[in-house]
Structure 1
Amino acid sequence: MLFELIGWVGAILFILSYYLLSKGIWKQNQAKYHVLNLLGAICLVVNAIHFRDTANILVNVVWAGIALMAIYNCWTAVFRSKS
């Protein structure tokens, strides 16, 4: 039950982040958009590991990696603009 709930939270985080982006409330270059995607991916990886869903593990590990790269790019852009 707990792992199923974690999976649902991950799915909701993905949907919420995409909705906020699509409505123009958040922008693609904002770290908060990518952080929400990262948290969603982590939740779905935990869920997929529990249920031994290897395809889902792979997709969400890659998604988390992309989110981490985007967060890094957002933060380095902020630091570059301050100097």
Structure 2
Amino acid sequence: MNLLIEIIGWFGMGLILIAYWFISTRRIEVKSRLYQMLNLGGAIGIVINAFYHKAFPPLALNVIWATIAFWALLSVRSEKKRLGS
């Protein structure tokens, strides 16, 4: 179980770094679904790892991070529906 939790945490960290790299190199837009999904998935992975290890500062940060990413993902989705894309 411990190995699985570690893999989930590292995978989450990787997703957030990939999202940051994509934005920093202008490969994707902030309002893209991919960017928000990378952030959401990454934050969830870190939340799982932090919860397991009872590491509350990264847990709190990533719960907030995931909430923002989820809200932004819904916003992107509703904007695309509104524009008919």
Q: Same fold (TM over 0.5)?
A: yes
RMSD (CA atoms):
1.2
Residue 15 of structure 2 is aligned to residue 13 of structure 1: yes
The sequence identity of aligned pairs, in percent, is 34
Pairwise CA distance, 1:56: 1.0
Gaps of 5+ in 2: none
Q: How many residues align?
A: 83
Q: Deviations over 1:22-77 (max 9, x none)?
A: 11110001011000100000000000011001111100000000001110110010
The code of the aligned residue for 1:57 comes to: L
Counterpart in the other structure of 1:29: 31
Partner of 2:50: 48
Find out whether 1:68 has 2:70 as its counterpart. Answer: yes
**How far apart, in 2, do the equivalents of 1:6 and 1:82 lie?**
36
1:37 partner amino acid: N
- Runs of 4+ with >3 A deviation: none
Match of 1:3 in 2: 5
Equivalent residue letter for 1:79: K
TM-score (norm 2): 0.93
